[in-house]
Amino acid sequence: MMTKKEWLACLEEMDHMFPDAHCELIHRNPFDLVIAVLLSAQCTDKLVNKVTANLFEKYHTPEDYLSVPLEELQQDIRSIGLFRNKAKNIQALSRLLIDQHGGRVPEDRDVLMTLPGVGRKTANVVVSVAFNKPALAVDTHVERVSKRLGLCRWKDSPLQVEETIMKKTPAEDWSKTHHQIIFFGRYHCKAQNPGCHVCPLFDRCREGKKRDKKGLVKHDAVTEIN
């Protein structure tokens, strides 16, 4: 398994590669962000942003989402996967925000997780991005990268991945680390055809070495980090 020193060296390289890594979900406020992250489940940020460009013009508050029939909201997000269930959750969480939180998004992760459709990943993103609190959300990119590098075990659950990364990363860097791993996974270490042949982390990467044994890596293009 990767040591803390090795992991921090990887993060330093990711920082060089993606110094401006950030949340790519477009939002105006914490409530918009909750909606956007909820919609992003099993969906790309690019598609979510396309849908919310119109959605956020029409809806601004929890009351707005409750002012229309469920079928109308479903039509508004129809191009998003699982749109029927997501529309139900949007209206349900809007009702709960109004009834129990004065229409405001709570800043506590555990309270956020009581909202319909809001799991640990969504809650971590919201507290980190909207409220600037130390948190580390594990999405498909974070899980894939951490396991490929050998920081985490292949059998680890998302919660175990989260705990491992937090344990080996300074708390003040959790939020930045989350975004940089996502950028690294989204634009470099992709699910299909990862960029091993130009990866500065190749010599430290468990998956890279595995692919190398299969003859899938062009060594003449690989760079190294000290």
10 annotated among ligand-binding-site residues: no
pLDDT at 139 over 60: yes
Query: What is the rounded distance in angstroms from the CA atom of residue 166 to the CA atom of residue 138?
Result: 11
Q: Look at residue 195 in the predicted model and tell me its pLDDT.
A: 87
DSSP character string of 102-166: TT---S-HHHHTTSTT--HHHHHHIIIIIT--------HHHHHHHHHHTSS-TT--HHHHHHHHH
The arithmetic mean of pLDDT across residues 122-146, rounded, is 96
Token pair 């690019």 in the structure block, residue:
46
Instruction: Give the model's confidence band at 6: pLDDT under 50 very low, under 70 low, under 90 confident, else very high.
Output: very high
Provide the whole-model pTM. 0.90
- Give the chain's domains with CATH numbers: 4-20+137-214 (1.10.1670.10), 30-131 (1.10.340.30)
Inform me whether the pLDDT recorded for 173 exceeds 70: yes
Task: Please list the active-site residues.
Answer: 121, 139
Give the pLDDT score at 219.
61
pLDDT at residue number 222? 44
Please report the DSSP string for 58-104 in residue order: H--SHHHHHSS-HHHHHHHTTTSTTHHHHHHHHHHHHHHHHHHHTT-
- 205 annotated among ligand-binding-site residues: yes
According to the model, what pLDDT value does residue 208 have? Answer: 87
